[in-house]
Chains A and B, each alone.
Chain A
Amino acid sequence: QKEVEQNSGPLSVPEGAIASLNCTYSDRGSQSFFWYRQYSGKSPELIMFIYSNGDKEDGRFTAQLNKASQYVSLLIRDSQPSDSATYLCAVIYTGGFKTIFGAGTRLFVKA
């Protein structure tokens, strides 16, 4: 099992729709979870972080964490064409506290 797994996509949604991105992780003891957005040719940029079970909202973004199921998701409401990018899930692992990234999900928002 990969340490952090994401569907590679591409995920295509129409403008104005909700985009749902999912991630699972294998380290049951992990406590810190992050979502990064990466545009083509650019470096990853942080968009959300979450440490506690439940939902965390920031503008159009909502991160959801379920530690029992080892599952973290990102919802993007009112998707815009500018949201088209690759979204990377990242987890800090308890062994050594290294940050492990998933392979990323490519999102396309159609105008």
Chain B
Amino acid sequence: DAGVIQSPRHEVTEMGQEVTLRCKPISGHDYLFWYRQTMMRGLELLIYFNNNVPIDDSGMPEDRFSAKMPNASFSTLKIQPSEPRDSAVYFCASRRGDQPQHFGDGTRLSIL
């Protein structure tokens, strides 16, 4: 079975550009999570969806961040405009019910 698929694996862009991160969850999973990980702040929950509906976006740092889940097999996280402090590893994860969640390989984002 395919795991959680994220793209791109690495993204380097200049400050002010729009960044779009993509995620395909595991088929049949009804929860999807976006996390950001840095050395200083650890693994932070940004937003999560249940059955494609955003449930809690209180972790989204600013209005520059937005996330969508148009269907059960796809989600995006956008940053516009991007800033150097957004540089981090962004993980997508999915799970079914109260089962363990599974992570994608992450997107390593560098904003110059």
List of B residues within 8 angstroms of A32 by Cβ: 98
Which chain B residues lie closer than 8 Å to A34 at the CB level? 100-101
Mark each residue of chain A from 10 to 54: 1 if its CB lies under 8 Å from any CB of chain B, else 0.
000000000000000000000110100000001111100101000
B95 to A99, Cβ gap below 8 A? yes
| Chain A interface category by residue count | 20 to 34
**Interface positions of B from 1 to 57, Cβ below 8 Å from A:** 31, 33, 35, 42-43, 45, 48, 50, 55-56
> For window 62-109 of chain B, which residues contact chain A by CB distance below 8 Å?
91, 93, 95, 98, 100-106
Question: Please, which residues of chain B bring their CB within 8 A of the CB of A96?
Answer: 48, 55-56
Cβ A97 vs Cβ B103 within 8 A:
no
Residues of B contacting A45 with CB < 8 Å? 103
Q: Across the interface, name the chain A residue whose C-beta is closest to B48.
A: A98
Q: Do the beta carbons of A43 and B43 come within 8 Å of each other?
A: no
CA–CA, A23 and B83, complex, Å: 34
| Contact A44–B55 (Cβ < 8 Å) | no
A45 to B91, alpha carbons, bound, how many Å?
12
Given known A98-B45, A104-B43, contact A46–B102 (CB-CB < 8 A): yes
Q: Knowing A97-B31, A97-B50, A98-B45, say if A43 contacts B98 (CB, 8 Å).
A: no
Distance in angstroms between the alpha carbons of A32 and B101 in the assembled complex: 11
Please give, as numbers and ranges, the residues of chain B lying within 8 Å of A90 by CB-CB distance: 101
Besides A44-B43, A98-B45, A99-B101, 18 more A-B contacts (Cβ < 8 Å) are A31-B98, A32-B98, A34-B100, A34-B101, A43-B104, A43-B105, A44-B103, A46-B100, A51-B98, A96-B55, A97-B31, A98-B56, A99-B33, A99-B45, A99-B95, A100-B45, A101-B43, A101-B45
